[in-house]
Amino acid sequence: MPSSSPRPLAVVGGGIGGLAAALAAARAGRAVTLVERAAQFGEIGAGLQLAPNASLALDELGVLADVRRNAVLPPRLVMMDAVSGTEVTSLDLRGSAYTDRFAHPYLVTHRTDLHAALLAACRAEPLITLRTGLTVTRAEQDGDHVRLSFAEQDEVLPADAVVAADGLHSRLRRALTGEGDPVCSRYVAYRGAIPTGRMTGRMSRAAADEAVMVWAGPAMHLVQYPVRRGELYNQVAVFRSDSYTPDSDDWGTEAELERRFATACDAVRDALPLVARDRRWPLYDRPPLQRWAYGRIALLGDAAHPMLQYLAQGACQALEDATALGRALRELPDAADAFTAYAARRTERAGRIQTGAHLFGELCHLEGMGATMRNLALAHRSPADFDDLAWVWTPAPDTVAAPAATASIGAPA
């Protein structure tokens, strides 16, 4: 339902969450101005897993076919023991048990490809204005509107309401909640995608297999999967640093990476030299937040639910946020009402996934007897058994559009 406000809805942040939110709001008939602090829109050079809840959201936003064109549909999701090199458990992502349960595909994509698809859709949408090089410093609510101030200029942007999609370190969230910094997990990631052509032997065969491989080891793991139609291979090496200190960046170094992975099997050791080392990514989250809507300002994406990446759901949840927000804006003309409805639909589910991501990380990083028990417990699990993950991969019913969306899993888009 279009708003009667002469002012646009402002979205702060042009990451995956912000672009998806802008698109969803425009599809609900709202004029949107999106402001991004970077001089140019972009994403980092690494991969992203998109579970069926995310591909459903992309379908609702009308960009699934575009994303799918450059993505890979992995046949299997495999957990390996990183020390013994043996398979712990796997899921068949293309078989009938999957397709009977999930109407949408499990995709792996390069972040740039997903971001570019969302950006292209935003650029093609007449109701969306995109602005870069603007860092929001303040959002002041004033009766029926919000005024946004920027670091780069004196101009104030009056907005009907504001969606804060400004990421993990969200300035707007801190201003609204009074919280401090996100919580550092003491784990760090090294990640990036390399041309598949650079790989030989075992690595090359792994890439050709197209599976998502999760090598779980003591306080470390390695994730591997192909992206961009198989032309690139994404690798993420994650480990706990023993030298973490809150006041320094001198922890989680490359030397520690080598030491932590020293006990890994040959397949993991072969892969390590090809893991990107140009930047280290400390991993943060926050406990679930009960309140996402503050009058005419609402939180979305990592700003609302920063989570550890172990369930590969941060971006998936941001996409779910966007479609839930779009639905609320379609139903309720007043943005503050729509924000309240959106938050009511999303907080509990996203909070459970934040908590679940923590637990799954612990399961991955078990050592000694704990790892042995995990492997035994999972040994007889069928590749067709999705019971443990179905709740994560299935949005709550009132966040799903009716009728159900259109994608099919088998045929390439």
Question: Contact residues for ligand FAD (CB under 6 A)?
Answer: 12-18, 35-38, 48-49, 135-136, 165-168, 171, 189, 191, 236, 281, 283, 301-302, 309, 312-316, 318
Give the shortest CB-107-to-ligand FAD separation in angstroms.
Answer: 10
Both structure tokens of 41:
């829109």
Give the shortest CB-320-to-ligand FAD separation in angstroms.
Answer: 10
Shorter beta-carbon distance to ligand FAD: residue 8 or 314: 314
SS3 annotation, 241-301: CCCCCCCCCCCCCHHHHHHHCCCCCHHHHHHHHHCCCCCEEEEEECCCCCCCEECCEEECH
Q: How many CB atoms lie within 10 A of CB 81?
A: 19
Shorter beta-carbon distance to ligand FAD: residue 332 or 393: 393
Give the shortest CB-282-to-ligand FAD separation in angstroms.
Answer: 9
**Are 238 and 187 in contact, with CB atoms under 8 Å apart?**
yes
Give the shortest CB-74-to-ligand FAD separation in angstroms.
Answer: 12
What is the C-alpha to C-alpha distance for residues 34 and 42, in angstroms, rounded to an integer?
14
What is the C-alpha to C-alpha distance for residues 257 and 350, in angstroms, rounded to an integer?
31
Shorter beta-carbon distance to ligand FAD: residue 48 or 207: 48
Sequence-separated (6 or more) residues with CB below 8 Å from residue 248? none
Q: Under the phi-then-psi rule, with left for phi > 0, alpha for psi from -120 to 50, and beta for the rest, what region is 143?
A: left
Shorter beta-carbon distance to ligand FAD: residue 110 or 374: 110
Shorter beta-carbon distance to ligand FAD: residue 119 or 335: 119
Nearest to 10 by CA among 114, 120, 180, 150: 150
Give the shortest CB-111-to-ligand FAD separation in angstroms.
Answer: 7
Shorter beta-carbon distance to ligand FAD: residue 186 or 332: 186
Give the shortest CB-238-to-ligand FAD separation in angstroms.
Answer: 7
